[in-house]
Amino acid sequence: LLHDSQFEPLSKVVPGVDCLGDVLAEQGYRLSFLGGASTQFAGKGLFYRGHQFNTVKGKEELLPELDDPEYVNSWGLYDDTLYDFTADEIRRLNEEDNGPWAVVNLSIAGHAPSGFPSQTCQDRQGEFDGQDILYSVECSARQARDFIEQLEQEGLLENTLVVVLSDHLTMRVSVWDQLTALDRDNTLIMLGDGIRPQRVRRSATMLDVFPTILDAMGLPLNDNRAGLGASLLSSQPTLVEIHGLETLNERLREETALQHRLWEGLAPQRRESEESIAEQVTETPADLADEVEIMR
């Protein structure tokens, strides 16, 4: 995903498979995505719209709604603003009382290389030096916690699953040497009724998040699997547990039949654009972002 709009010439992103949105839509869920950055980046807008999300809003859609149009960063909206918009969207869906709903929020406060801490965090944590990623990570975690607590206090999380997850590991940051000296993991936290407090220690990948969420929601799974993953709430072994990470990565790189199935013969093309967003071109598979998914 090195080019911010390489998927835009396509009409859909990975049209050959059913994703979480497709599964939830079939169950009658109303689906919304809100992110502070452009939905054109990496085909996010195409992906969500193509997989049955009813509302998809990014920087372009949310900027006109800002009280202060100058309160933005090079990616887009700060997280405190985005969480306010997301809370409003959840209130709207809840008040409509027209069936279950799910909302995805994509935050950017902890994004490498130094993060984008909001003014709310700077008022609480003191001045940001522009470099300390740990400052930004603290900001990101605090704001996510405050957001969830706010929804809980308003009674919006009854019979609701909250999922907090990273989408991939971080790229080079100010504490890179310390990070690379440790075992590095992606984050998956689930909160909700019926979920027993525990820490699951298993060898897994982001492939296993999809079936784990479905399992936590009580939706049916064949052999506790979905896609290429296995539910981490079950005893079903993951592909990493069976084959090891190195072998799994090698097989995925070589699996052209799977690639054709995902894309149904489509191939994303690079599109030159004068409107490319410079800061977003640095995205790599080791970059960092956080998502909060809330499903009722």
CATH number at residue 48: 3.40.720.10
pLDDT, residue 2, reads 41
Give the chain's mean pLDDT. 88
Average pLDDT value for residue range 175-195: 89
Q: Is residue 87 part of a domain?
A: yes
The encoded tokens of residue 143 equal 């704001």
pTM across the whole model: 0.86
Among 53-62, 91-100, 107-116, 163-172, which is the least confidently predicted range? 163-172
Q: Is residue 250 part of a domain?
A: no
Q: Is residue 218 part of a domain?
A: no
pLDDT, residue 173, reads 86
Q: Is residue 155 part of a domain?
A: yes
Q: Evaluate if residue 186 carries a pLDDT over 60.
A: yes
pLDDT, residue 178, reads 86
pLDDT in tens, 229-258: 999 999 999 999 999 999 999 999 998 888
What is the percentage of the chain residues whose pLDDT exceeds 70?
86
Could you write out the DSSP letters of every residue in 20-86?
A: HHHHHHHTT-EEEEEESS-TTGGGHHHHHHHTT-SEEE-HHHHGGG-SSTT-B-SSSB-HHHHHHHH
Instruction: Please state, in angstroms and rounded to a whole number, the distance separating the CA atoms of residues 56 and 123.
Output: 30
Q: Is residue 186 part of a domain?
A: yes
**pLDDT tier at 286, thresholds 50, 70, 90:** very low
Measure CA 272 to chain center: 26
pLDDT in tens, 120-148: 999 999 999 999 999 999 999 999 999 99
Instruction: Please state, in angstroms and rounded to a whole number, the distance separating the CA atoms of residues 144 and 141.
Output: 5
Average pLDDT value for residue range 47-61: 97
Average pLDDT value for residue range 61-68: 97
Q: Is residue 225 part of a domain?
A: no
pLDDT in tens, 168-181: 888 888 888 888 88
Q: Is residue 252 part of a domain?
A: no
Write out the residue range of the structural domain in which residue 185 sits: 20-202+268-295
Q: Is residue 236 part of a domain?
A: no
What value does the CA radius of gyration of the chain take, rounded to a whole number of Å? Answer: 19
The domain tally of the chain equals: 1
**pLDDT tier at 31, thresholds 50, 70, 90:** very high
Please name the residues in contact with 266: beta carbons below 8 A apart, sequence gap of 6 or more.
Answer: 10, 12, 15
pLDDT, residue 269, reads 52
